[in-house]
């Protein structure tokens, strides 16, 4: 028998004013958006009972309103739990009841003159209209725990169609946001967050990051967008996400979120495009893909969208958004698994997946590109050595033979060429990449990296700052602007470092402080970096810390081991080798410093203006061999300048 729910309801230390649309905790208003508040009102109305998901859909959204219900309900529940300081694992108020719905657990109290009997009867009174007094926040996305079921391999084919279709939709929405015909000098910034697996099979979890990565790669060809790299968004996988905070952290004005679910032979993709500044939903939708004759379906749908939405892209960019050539379903499955492992820095496992993908389908260029990237990372970080560098270059060249303008392959190969002493070969590749997309941040950054090795320091700063303007997290935690250091602008260098306490950042922070003669703080940062991760760079920092504490023997022993590793296994780029020479010089071993300095310069680090005035090498200036090495750097520096800047 229905009854009226009072306008003022209390539970624990909370008070809900249904008439005013307010939630208060100990008398202070708790900020809560419209949908979470309406959800709370429904749960209070049926306190102690299970409110089904279907009932919530009917009560919270009208029949003619299109929403991604699963996503929006998860957001509302997450926001409500945050406001109530509740948790899904140990609920005090909002309990998840299997897959059925939700139940309110709290003990209710009322201040109106209703009797206890009246309290026990449920109301059919309409929910009050919500009247927020503050601007609503963007929602948080709750990531449910995946469940298991049998996997249909054809699911992996569907991701090809999804990537192209969603890329076209995103580009369309963003292109039409621009007012008039005037183009902004700064592209619209976009972060594509890992997709959520809302299905029953946890073995499909890897699709979350790999689907986002495929989209990021696809949209790299669109000059009107600046898309954050996979390295910047990987940390959001499998976490509860506050979209407003993510937008601020990644410094973007647009976010793309999505989820996927597999049911039998179907894959459903949902997405939502949000303007982070205005908090408006720019676009949302559901894409249902069948596996029968999938490639034909993807081509047809993509063609219809391009035609109907009248995308105003330059011909070259439109060409890159066309459907990909046919790829083996099994090869594509291995490719996506490899992307996921690569994002987790599990390089040997990623190599295994990419090798399988390229063996099954040797004409799939992205497979070769990321196989090369995995070889390269294995050489640099897992001490894989010269052989892995050789394999990486061969894989990149294979990818570019299949697709000459594949941006990822161009950037990857250029980075390897720089690290292996072939800067002059890297520059044309990077300049070609910028002809494809002049706003491609990764290409600007790598070009600045090449210029730094060649001693074109002002030009290096210009390229790297352009990259950071386009995408502040262009290299993730590796975005260290060494050229400021080499120009003697130590404070600018320190200010340019990422805001984190990774071992890599701590080393460079200590390196900047060492140049500023802040030796106590430099020592603390060097030591902490080495404790976190004893790598080539942090080992150099530890040796410099030993010099500060007058532990010269320990520092020299550490440097000797690092030098031996570099010589024997070919790991470490010439710039890292140069830093070993600096540390030898500081510790007073001129002979070793000169030997390693020569190795660095002859291996491709010929930054003549820096080497000439490097304060860490002051003790070497009177040595005849130093003059010889400096002359080698000067000659190659001048040749580079004449080739690329005349």
- Give the CATH number of the domain where residue 318 resides: 3.40.50.10610
The average pLDDT across 469-486 equals 77
Joined tokens for residue 30: 């708790």
β-bridge pairing 101-104 and 50-52: antiparallel
Residues 293, 240 share a domain: yes
- pLDDT for position 153: 43
Which pLDDT belongs to residue 147? 38
Same structural domain, 109 and 159: no
Q: Say what the pLDDT of residue 75 is.
A: 78
The answer to whether the Cα torsion of 208, 214, 220, 221 is positive or negative is negative
**Higher pLDDT, residue 107 or 138:** 107
- pLDDT at res. 172: 53
- The DSSP string of 14-66 is EEEETTTTEEEETTEEEP--HHHHHHHHHHHHTTTSEEEHHHHHHHHS-TT--
pLDDT in tens, 63-99: 544 445 666 788 788 889 988 988 888 888 998 887 7
Same domain, 130 and 159: no
Summarised one tens digit per residue, pLDDT across range 163-182 is 555 555 555 555 544 433 33
**Residue 460 domain flag:** no
Q: In degrees, to the nearest 5, what angle opens at C-alpha 138 toward C-alphas 135 and 143? A: 150
For residue 574, what is the enclosing H or E element? helix 574-586
Pair 191, 231 in one domain: yes
Residues 120 and 170 in one domain: no
**Which residues neighbour 478 within 8 Å (Cβ) at sequence distance 6 or greater?**
504
Which strand (E) or helix (H) includes residue 189? strand 188-192
Q: How confident is the model at residue 618 (pLDDT cuts 50, 70, 90)?
A: very high
Residue 360 has pLDDT above 90, yes or no: yes
Give the predicted TM-score (pTM) of the model: 0.67
Residue 101 lies in a domain: yes
What number is the average pLDDT over the span 595-621? 96
Q: Domain containing 90: what range?
A: 8-136
Average pLDDT, the chain: 79
pLDDT of residue 308 exceeding 50 = no
Q: Answer yes or no: is 143 within a domain.
A: no
**Domain termination site, one of 265, 293, 324:** 324
What are the two backbone dihedrals, phi and then psi, of residue 62, each rounded to the nearest 5 degrees? -70, 160
pLDDT per residue as tens digits for the range 225-262:
778 888 888 888 877 777 888 888 888 888 888 777 76
Q: For 100, what's the count of Cα atoms within 13 Å in the CB-facing half-sphere?
A: 9
Per-residue confidence (pLDDT) for residue 312, from 0 to 100: 60
Split at pLDDT 50, 70, 90, the class of 470 is confident
Cβ pair 219, 167 in contact under 8 A: yes
* Residue at which a domain ends, from 324, 347, 366: 324
Q: What is the share, in percent, of the chain residues with pLDDT greater than 90?
A: 36
What span, in angstroms and rounded, lies between the C-alpha atoms of 221 and 339? 19
* CB atoms near residue 398 (< 10 Å): 19
571 in any annotated domain: no
DSSP secondary structure code for residue 204 in this structure: G
Residues 223, 254 within the same domain: yes
pLDDT for the residue 503:
87
Q: Are residues 198 and 252 in the same domain?
A: yes
Terminal C-alpha separation, the chain: 89
Whether residue 167 contacts residue 321, with contact meaning beta carbons closer than 8 Å, is answered with: yes
Distances in whole angstroms, Cα of residue 509 to Cα of each of 397, 505, 580:
36, 6, 17
Report the half-sphere exposure of 355 (CA within 13 A, side-chain side).
10
- Judged against a pLDDT cut of 90, whether residue 337 lies above it is answered with no
Distance from C-alpha of 634 to C-alpha of 640, rounded to nearest angstrom? 10
Report yes or no: 190 and 177 within 8 Å, Cβ to Cβ. Answer: no
Is residue 264 assigned to a domain?
yes
Pair 165, 94 in one domain = no
CA distance 508 to 510: 5
Distance CA 493, CA 55 (A): 57
Determine the pLDDT at residue 144.
37
Phi and psi for 618 in degrees, rounded to 5? -55, -35
Query: At which residue do the structure tokens 């830093």 appear?
Result: 579
Q: Residue length, the chain?
A: 646
Is residue 100 assigned to a domain? yes
User: Do residue 184 and residue 57 come from a single domain?
Assistant: no
Domain count, the chain: 2
Query: How far is the C-alpha of 629 from the C-alpha of 611, rounded, in Å?
Result: 10
Residue 138 has pLDDT above 60, yes or no: no
Instruction: Tell me: pLDDT of 580 over 90.
Output: yes
* Portion of the chain with pLDDT greater than 70, in percent: 77
Query: 111 pLDDT band (50/70/90 cuts)?
Result: low
For residue 109, give the 3-state DSSP assignment: strand
Mean pLDDT value of segment 548-565 = 94
On whether residue 615 sits in a domain, the answer given is no
Are 275 and 320 in a shared domain?
yes
List the one residue out of 179, 178, 214 whose CA is nearest residue 195.
Answer: 214
Instruction: Tell me what the mean pLDDT of segment 43-58 comes to.
Output: 86
Return the CATH number at 130: 1.10.10.10
Nearest Cα to 102, choosing from 27, 37, 175, 48?
Answer: 48
183-187, 208-212, 269-273, 315-319: the lowest-pLDDT one = 183-187
CB 16 within 8 A of CB 8: yes
110 shares its domain with 229: no
Tokens of 271: 């997405």
225 and 110 share a domain?
Answer: no
Say if residue 452's pLDDT is above 90. Answer: yes
* Among the ranges given (109-118, 434-443, 464-473), the one the predictor scored with the smallest mean pLDDT: 109-118
Could you say which of 306, 324, 342 is where a domain stops?
324
Average pLDDT over residues 556-569: 89
Q: 249, 241 in Cβ contact below 8 A? A: no
Q: Is 468 helix (H, G, I), strand (E, B) or coil?
A: helix
Domain-located, residue 368:
no
């Amino acid at each position: 028998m229905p009854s009226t729910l009072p306008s003022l309801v209390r539970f624990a230390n909370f008070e809900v004013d249904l008439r005013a649309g307010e939630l208060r905790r100990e008398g202070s208003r708790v900020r809560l958006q419209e949908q979470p508040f309406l959800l709370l009102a429904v749960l209070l109305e049926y306190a102690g009972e299970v409110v089904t998901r279907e009932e919530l859909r009917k009560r919270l959204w009208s029949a003619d309103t299109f929403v991604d219900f699963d996503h929006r309900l998860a957001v509302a529940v997450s926001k409500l739990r945050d406001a109530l300081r509740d948790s899904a694992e140990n609920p005090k108020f909002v309990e998840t009841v299997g897959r059925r719905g939700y139940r309110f657990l709290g003990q209710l109290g009322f201040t109106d003159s209703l009797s206890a009997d009246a309290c026990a009867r449920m109301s059919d009174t309409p929910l009050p209209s919500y009247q927020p007094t503050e601007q609503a926040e963007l929602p948080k996305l709750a990531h449910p725990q995946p469940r298991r079921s049998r996997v249909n391999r054809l699911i992996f084919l569907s991701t090809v169609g999804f990537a192209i279709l969603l890329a076209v939709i995103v580009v369309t929405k963003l292109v039409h946001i621009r007012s008039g015909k005037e183009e902004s000098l700064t592209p619209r910034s976009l972060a594509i967050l890992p997709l959520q697996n809302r299905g029953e099979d946890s073995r499909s979890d890897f699709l979350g990051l790999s689907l986002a990565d495929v989209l990021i790669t696809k949209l790299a060809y669109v000059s009107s967008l600046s898309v954050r790299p996979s390295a910047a968004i990987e940390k959001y996988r499998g976490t509860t996400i506050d979209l407003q905070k993510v937008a601020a952290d990644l410094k973007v004005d647009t976010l793309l979120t999505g989820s996927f679910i597999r049911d039998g032979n179907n894959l459903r993709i949902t997405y939502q495009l949000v303007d982070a500044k205005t908090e408006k939903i720019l676009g949302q939708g559901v894409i249902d893909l069948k596996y029968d004759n999938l490639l034909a379906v993807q081509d047809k749908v993509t063609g219809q969208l391009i035609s109907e939405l009248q995308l105003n892209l330059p011909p070259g960019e439109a060409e890159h958004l066309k459907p990909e050539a046919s790829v083996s379903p099994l090869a594509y499955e291995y490719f996506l698994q490899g992307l996921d492992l690569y994002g987790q820095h599990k390089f040997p496992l990623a190599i295994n997946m990419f090798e399988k993908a390229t063996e099954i389908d040797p004409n799939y260029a992205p497979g070769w590109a990321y196989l090369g990237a995995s070889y390269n990372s294995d050489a640099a970080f897992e001490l894989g050595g010269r052989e892995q560098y050789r394999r990486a270059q061969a894989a990149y060249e294979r990818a570019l033979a299949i697709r000459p303008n594949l941006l990822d392959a161009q950037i990857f190969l250029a980075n390897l060429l720089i690290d292996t002493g072939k800067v002059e070969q890297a520059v044309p590749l990077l300049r070609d990449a910028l002809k494809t997309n002049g706003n491609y941040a990764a290409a600007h950054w790598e070009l600045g990296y090449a210029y730094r090795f060649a001693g074109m320091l002002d030009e290096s700063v210009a390229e790297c700052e352009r990259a950071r303007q386009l995408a502040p997290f262009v290299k993730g935690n590796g975005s260290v602007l060494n050229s400021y250091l080499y120009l003697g602008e130590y404070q600018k260098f320190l200010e340019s470092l990422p805001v984190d306490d990774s071992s890599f950042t701590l080393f460079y922070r200590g390196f900047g402080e060492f140049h500023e003669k802040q030796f106590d703080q430099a020592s603390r940062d060097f030591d902490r970096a080495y404790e976190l991760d004893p790598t080539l760079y942090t080992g150099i920092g530890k040796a410099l810390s030993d010099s500060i504490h007058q532990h010269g023997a320990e520092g020299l022993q550490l440097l000797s081991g690092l030098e031996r590793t570099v010589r024997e296994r070919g790991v470490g780029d010439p710039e890292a080798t140069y830093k070993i020479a600096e540390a030898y010089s500081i510790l007073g071993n001129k002979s070793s410093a000169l030997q390693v300095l020569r190795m660095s310069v002859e291996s491709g680090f010929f930054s003549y203006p820096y080497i000439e005035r490097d304060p860490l090498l002051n003790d070497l200036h009177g040595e005849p061999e130093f003059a010889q090495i400096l002359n080698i750097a000067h000659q190659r520096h001048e040749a580079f300048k004449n080739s690329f800047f005349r």
